[in-house]
């Protein structure tokens, strides 16, 4: 006879991280189990993760996904608790003791390091830090040193395109967005003239998407420059564009840009798209003054090889956009090499590969920092299915239901508190003729969200 656990009838699940992965997991879980409840913990005063603090401000259609995520949070069976960092304010062990399942959806927020000489010089930045700054993340610095006329961006993913576009864009083009005033003011004072984007492989091996690429050229007073010599297709590239339509479109777009004569390029800012160049070192003593790149080629198997030909670009800032990585959550196993929580289909395992009962992962902390917002939904469906399957399994062990863990949490921002921040942002936006202007400072956000006397950090 299969014995079932007492709590199966009304499962109570904790989800850590109110980004898209955590919110979709809550939605799917509550849809499949009409008696379940979810407590959703978020370390920032605001929910939505990278949809709020990663998606570029000039992508309002994508940012609008927050409307759908908001709708999920209105479910009365979800108790949202923002401004609560799991691992600091409450432990994973405490959550495992109190809930029938704990799903960790903490995403990725750090830059992958780049181990080349000069990378620690002033003027060398990580894209994750820059994105957090222009998107008004409460923990990002308030000011950014936008002093360089000539800048390098490393990487050929969509984040590299975002960073390149925001660096080159005239601030006036962002004035209607939710970008905080303090960011707009600094962007408006930027003296930038040339932004060099470097892909280390060829035109058919870039990771960014065709739509995002084309956007580079859709900007007022910004030219895009491509050297036709770097577009020559080798056998590997020919195979790639034959196989993948996206790559074909990308090569077509780049070819069209490369064919434009220099006399048509009159803009005050320029984006230079460089292919087949990998970073070797940053040069400078007190700060970055140049970057040295090595020209690359593909071998017969399509692998990137160095050619030994070195090129130097005089730039006063370098942004590496070569990928994100996750921060480990105290009390959770972490595979430092892969930068994810070890798991089997979302069921978390320890260092020896053994299941940890009632502990699950979803989103970027599970899969690694690749994929669009939509892919966190299918990912969450897989994890949630296992949470629900395991509820019937006695081996998972009982959760203690003695005390409600939320009772002990001081300074947490609940859904009503978040709505007060949301309202303050909408009012700030209305004063400026926009839909919203983001609040940035944690204290200011908490000042709107919490009753007087409860602003604890
Ligand atoms: C710069 C950038 C731009 C992007 N633009 C797009 C785009 O235009 N379109 C698109 O489809 N995709 C885009 N993406 C990809 C998309 O953002 C991700 O697919 C998605 O956000 C991953 O969701 P997640 O919930 O796993 O992680 P996240 O969105 O990172 O959410 C994780 C949440 O967990 C919280 N958290 C972390 N640690 C703790 C803790 N200890 N306790 C409590 N809470 C915690 C974080 O504060 C965060 O709110 C972009 C990604 C980046 C980096
Ligand atoms: N608008 C959007 O839809 C949007 C916007 C932003 C992000 N996103 C998504 O978010 C995810 C993360 O994006 P991402 O751009 O951070 O990651 P990504 O797509 O993995 O791209 C990382 C890039 O960095 C390069 N790189 C890695 N190590 C390098 C090194 N040592 N030197 C030089 N280049 C190096 C990679 O080159 P190789 O290919 O040669 O390894 C690759 O081009 C992606 O799925 C992306 O599509 C989407």
Distance, CA of 158 to CA of 70 (rounded, Å): 25
Residue 436 is assigned to a structural domain of this protein: no
Ligand 2 in reach of 79 Cβ (< 6 A): no
Same domain, 185 and 263: yes
Does pLDDT of 99 surpass 70? yes
Distance, CA of 362 to CA of 386 (rounded, Å): 11
Report the residue among 61, 109, 155, 162 best suited for mutation to probe ligand 2: largest number of ligand atoms under 8 A from its CB.
155
Counting ligands in written order, the one closest to the CA of 63 is 1
Over residues 320-341, mean pLDDT: 95
What mean pLDDT, rounded, does the chain reach?
93
- The pair phi, psi for residue 144, each rounded to 5°, is -125, 135
Atom of ligand 1 nearest to the CA of 324: 53
Residue 442 is assigned to a structural domain of this protein: no
Q: How far is the CA of 371 from the centre of ligand 2 (A)?
A: 10
Nearest residue (by CA) to ligand 2, atom 48, is: 158
Same domain, 134 and 124: yes
CATH number of the domain encompassing residue 155? 3.50.50.60
Nearest residue (by CA) to ligand 1, atom 10, is: 372
Over residues 76-88, mean pLDDT: 97
Ligand 2 in reach of 236 Cβ (< 6 A): no
Nearest residue (by CA) to ligand 1, atom 1, is: 54
Q: How far is the CA of 49 from the centre of ligand 1 (A)?
A: 4
Residue 439 is assigned to a structural domain of this protein: no
Residue 50 is assigned to a structural domain of this protein: yes
Token pair of 168, please? Answer: 């080159």
19-70 pLDDT, tens digit each: 999 999 999 999 999 999 999 999 999 999 999 999 999 999 999 999 999 9
pLDDT at 256: 94
Long-range pairs, 222-225, Cβ under 8 A, ≥24: 222/168, 222/169, 222/170, 222/267, 222/269, 222/270, 222/271, 223/265, 223/266, 223/267, 223/269, 223/270, 223/271, 224/257, 224/270, 224/271, 224/273, 225/257, 225/265, 225/270, 225/271, 225/272, 225/273
Of 324, 348, 381, the residue that ends a domain is 324
User: Which residue has better confidence, 373 or 7?
Assistant: 373
Same domain, 278 and 166: yes
Of 299, 324, 349, the residue that ends a domain is 324
Range among 74-83, 222-231, 392-401 rated most confident? 74-83
Q: How far is the CA of 324 from the centre of ligand 2 (A)?
A: 8
Same domain, 134 and 238: yes
Counting ligands in written order, the one closest to the CA of 114 is 2
Ligand 2 in reach of 207 Cβ (< 6 A): yes
Q: Give the pLDDT band (50/70/90) at residue 299.
A: confident
Same domain, 364 and 350: yes
User: Which residue has better confidence, 271 or 300?
Assistant: 271
Look at the chain and report how many structural domains it folds into.
2
Same domain, 377 and 275: no
Helix (H) or strand (E) holding 456: none
Residues in the chain: 457
Contact (CB, 8 A) for 294 and 278? yes
Nearest residue (by CA) to ligand 2, atom 29, is: 322
Nearest residue (by CA) to ligand 1, atom 15, is: 372
CATH number of the domain encompassing residue 31? 3.40.50.720
Same domain, 268 and 303: yes
Same domain, 78 and 192: no
Report the residue among 39, 54, 160, 374 best suited for mutation to probe ligand 1: largest number of ligand atoms under 8 A from its CB.
54
Ligand 2 in reach of 160 Cβ (< 6 A): yes
Q: Give the pLDDT band (50/70/90) at residue 115.
A: very high
Residue 438 is assigned to a structural domain of this protein: no
Report the residue among 22, 55, 331, 384 best suited for mutation to probe ligand 1: largest number of ligand atoms under 8 A from its CB.
55
Residue 202 is assigned to a structural domain of this protein: yes
Over residues 188-194, mean pLDDT: 98
pLDDT at 399: 65
Does pLDDT of 1 surpass 50? no
Does pLDDT of 2 surpass 50? no
**Helix segments in 292-437, DSSP class H:** 364-367, 375-390, 415-431
- The pair phi, psi for residue 39, each rounded to 5°, is -105, 125
Which of 3-7, 122-126, 167-171, 206-210 is the least confident region? 3-7
192-245 pLDDT, tens digit each: 999 999 999 999 999 999 999 999 999 999 999 999 999 988 888 899 899 999
Comparing C-alpha atoms, which of 426, 455, 427, 454 is closest to residue 441?
A: 455
Residue 344 is assigned to a structural domain of this protein: yes
Ligand 2 in reach of 319 Cβ (< 6 A): no
238-274 pLDDT, tens digit each: 998 999 999 999 999 999 999 986 667 789 999 999 9
Q: How far is the CA of 304 from the centre of ligand 1 (A)?
A: 30
The DSSP string of 187-225 is HHT----EEEEE-SS-TTS--S-HHHHHHTTSSTTEEEE
Longest dimension (CA), the chain: 81
Distance, CA of 144 to CA of 139 (rounded, Å): 13
What sign for the dihedral angle of Cα 92, 96, 98, 99? Answer: positive
pLDDT at 132: 98
Same domain, 249 and 317: yes
Ligand 2 in reach of 324 Cβ (< 6 A): yes
Ligand 2 in reach of 212 Cβ (< 6 A): yes
Over residues 406-430, mean pLDDT: 94
Q: Which domain holds residue 77?
A: 6-109+326-412
Of 324, 339, 371, the residue that ends a domain is 324
Nearest residue (by CA) to ligand 2, atom 28, is: 322
Residue 338 is assigned to a structural domain of this protein: yes
Ligand 2 in reach of 279 Cβ (< 6 A): yes
Distance, CA of 214 to CA of 347 (rounded, Å): 40
pLDDT at 363: 98
Counting ligands in written order, the one closest to the CA of 21 is 1
Ligand 2 in reach of 371 Cβ (< 6 A): yes
Ligand 2 in reach of 152 Cβ (< 6 A): no
In 250-323, DSSP assigns E strands to 269-274, 277-283, 290-298, 304-313, 317-320
Same domain, 268 and 402: no
Distance, CA of 291 to CA of 62 (rounded, Å): 34
Q: Give the pLDDT band (50/70/90) at residue 397.
A: low
Q: Is 225 exposed, middle or buried (0-12, 13-18, 19+ CB in 10 A)?
A: middle
Which of 23-32, 90-99, 154-163, 385-394 is the least confident region? 385-394
pLDDT at 391: 87
Strand pairing category for 110-111 and 324-325: antiparallel
pLDDT at 365: 98
Contact (CB, 8 A) for 200 and 156? yes
Q: Give the pLDDT band (50/70/90) at residue 101.
A: very high
Comparing C-alpha atoms, which of 438, 440, 442, 437 is closest to residue 455?
A: 442
Q: What is the CA radius of gyration of the chain?
A: 24
Cα distances (Å, whole numbers) of residue 414 to 77, 136, 219, 451: 13, 21, 40, 11
Cα angle at 142 between 136 and 144, to 5 degrees?
100
Nearest residue (by CA) to ligand 1, atom 18, is: 373
Residues with CB under 6 A from ligand 1: 16-22, 41-44, 49-51, 54-55, 59, 62, 85-87, 105-108, 131, 159, 162, 324, 329, 363-364, 371-373, 376
């Amino acid at each position: 006879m299969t014995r079932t656990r007492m709590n199966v009838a009304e499962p109570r699940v904790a989800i850590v991280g109110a980004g898209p992965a955590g919110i979709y997991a809550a939605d799917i879980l509550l849809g499949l189990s009409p008696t379940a409840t979810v407590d959703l913990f978020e370390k920032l005063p605001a929910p939505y993760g990278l949809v709020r603090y990663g998606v570029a401000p000039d992508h309002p259609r994508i940012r609008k996904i927050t409307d759908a995520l908001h709708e999920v949070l209105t479910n009365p069976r979800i108790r949202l608790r923002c401004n609560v960092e799991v691992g600091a304010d409450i432990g994973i062990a405490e959550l495992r003791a109190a809930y029938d399942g704990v799903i960790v959806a903490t995403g990725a927020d750090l830059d992958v390091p780049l181990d080349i000489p000069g990378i620690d010089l002033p003027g060398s930045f990580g894209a994750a830090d820059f994105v957090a700054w222009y998107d008004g993340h409460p923990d990002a610095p308030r000011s950014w040193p936008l002093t360089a006329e000539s800048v390098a961006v490393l990487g050929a993913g969509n984040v590299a395109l975002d960073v390149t576009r925001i660096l080159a864009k005239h601030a006036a083009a962002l004035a209607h967005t939710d970008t905080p005033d303090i960011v707009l003011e600094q962007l408006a004072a930027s003296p930038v003239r040339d932004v060099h984007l470097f892909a280390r492989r060829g035109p058919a091996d870039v990771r960014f998407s065709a739509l995002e690429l084309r956007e580079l050229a859709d900007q007022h007073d910004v030219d895009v420059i491509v050297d036709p010599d770097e577009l020559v297709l080798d056998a590997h590239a020919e195979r790639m564009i034959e196989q993948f339509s996206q790559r074909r479109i990308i090569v077509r777009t780049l070819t069209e840009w490369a064919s434009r004569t220099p006399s048509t390029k009159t803009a005050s800012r320029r984006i230079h798209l460089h292919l087949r160049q990998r970073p070797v070192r940053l040069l400078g003593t007190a700060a970055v003054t140049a970057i040295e790149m090595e020209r690359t080629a593909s071998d017969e198997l399509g692998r990137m090889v160095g050619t030994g030909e070195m090129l130097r670009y005089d730039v006063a800032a370098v942004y590496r956009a070569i990928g994100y990585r996750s921060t480990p959550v105290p009390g959770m196993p972490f595979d430092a090499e892969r930068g994810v929580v070890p798991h089997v289909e979302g069921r978390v395992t320890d260092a020896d590969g053994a299941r940890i009962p009632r502990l699950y992962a979803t989103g970027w902390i599970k899969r690694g920092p690749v994929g669009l917002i939509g892919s966190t939904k299918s990912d969450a469906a897989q994890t949630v299915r296992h949470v629900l399957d395991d509820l019937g399994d006695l081996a998972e062990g009982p959760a203690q239901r003695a005390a409600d863990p939320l009772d002990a949490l001081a300074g947490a921002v609940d859904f009503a508190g978040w709505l007060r921040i949301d309202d303050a942002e909408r009012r700030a936006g209305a004063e400026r003729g926009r839909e919203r202007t983001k609040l940035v400072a944690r204290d200011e956000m908490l000042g709107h969200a919490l009753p007087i006397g409860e602003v604890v950090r």
